[in-house]
Amino acid sequence: MTAAELEFSQASSMPSWLTLADNVFNEQAKRWDTSSCDGGLRWQIRPRNSGLKMPLPIGELFQSSARLARYTGNQTYADLADKIWDWNADTLLDIKDWILADAAKVHSDCEDRSMLSWPHNYSVYFSGAAYIYKRMINTSTRKKNNDADKCQETKWESGLDGLRNRTFHMLFPEKYGGMIMSEACEHGTLCPQRWTGWCQS
């Protein structure tokens, strides 16, 4: 998608950057799973490892749909981004404190959640919300004095503010002197090896 947005050159014999991005989007979107938790994406495709719904793959689909909506002007992408955001607000994202759960167990209908916080989860939602907000405030894509559009703008602006503030609170915790850190791993906690990479992202 970045290649399309930045107008990278491409071979005429190959599919366009937009086509490639759209193919990835369609592959992800068809895996939206309503058999549990009323939606979301499972952590992995393989059934043996699919017992969780996690914010990162869902957030990547959200970001992809938001970027495609802004780039193409196609409302279908924007509608899916809106649907994903609302699902998260009901399932993984506490919009009161802007805490994004790291995982939810499918067998509990996503009631059993891990509340660890990782920066990379927040980043995809923040950027996706920014793309949608930018699209909303573009005068060419909204009707003047439309209450529904104003309500949507408020929704995305609040989302951006909430995610930004939570991310800064998480990465620069005042109780540890405002030093940059990922609290889940760094305050006297022994982390599994795979977690150390998540701290850096």
Tell me the helices (H) and strands (E) count for the chain, helix number first.
8, 5
- Mean pLDDT computed over 2-29: 94
Q: What pLDDT sits at residue 122?
A: 92
Q: What tens digit of pLDDT does each residue of 115-159 get?
A: 887 888 999 999 999 999 999 888 545 555 577 777 888 899 999
Using DSSP's 3-state secondary structure scheme, residue 141 falls into helix
pLDDT digits (tens, 9 = 90+) for 165-201: 998 888 887 877 777 766 556 655 556 665 555 555 4
Ramachandran area for residue 117 (φ above 0: left; ψ -120 to 50: alpha; else beta): beta
| Lowest model confidence (mean pLDDT) among 76-90, 103-117, 183-197 | 183-197
CB contact at 8 A, 100 and 84: no
**8 A C-beta contact, residue 43 and residue 53:** yes
State the average pLDDT for the chain: 86
Structure tokens at 159: 């989302």
In this prediction the pTM is 0.85
In this prediction, residue 43 carries a pLDDT of 87
List, as own/partner pairs, every contact residues 105-113 make where C-beta atoms lie below 8 angstroms and the sequence separation is at least 24, other chains included: 105/51, 105/52, 106/36, 106/37, 106/42, 106/50, 106/51, 106/52, 106/53, 107/36, 107/51, 109/36, 109/37, 110/36, 110/37, 110/40, 110/53
Q: Which long-range contacts (CB under 8 A, 24 or more apart) does 136-144 make?
A: 141/73
Q: What confidence tier does 56 reach under pLDDT thresholds 50, 70, 90?
A: very high
**Domains (range + CATH), the chain:** 34-200 (1.50.10.20)
Question: Which of these, 151, 98, 153, 152, lies nearest to 125 by C-alpha position?
Answer: 98
Question: What letter does residue 52 receive in the DSSP assignment?
Answer: E
Hey, which of 18-32, 43-57, 184-198 has the most confident mean pLDDT? 18-32
User: Taking residues 23-37, what's their average pLDDT?
Assistant: 95
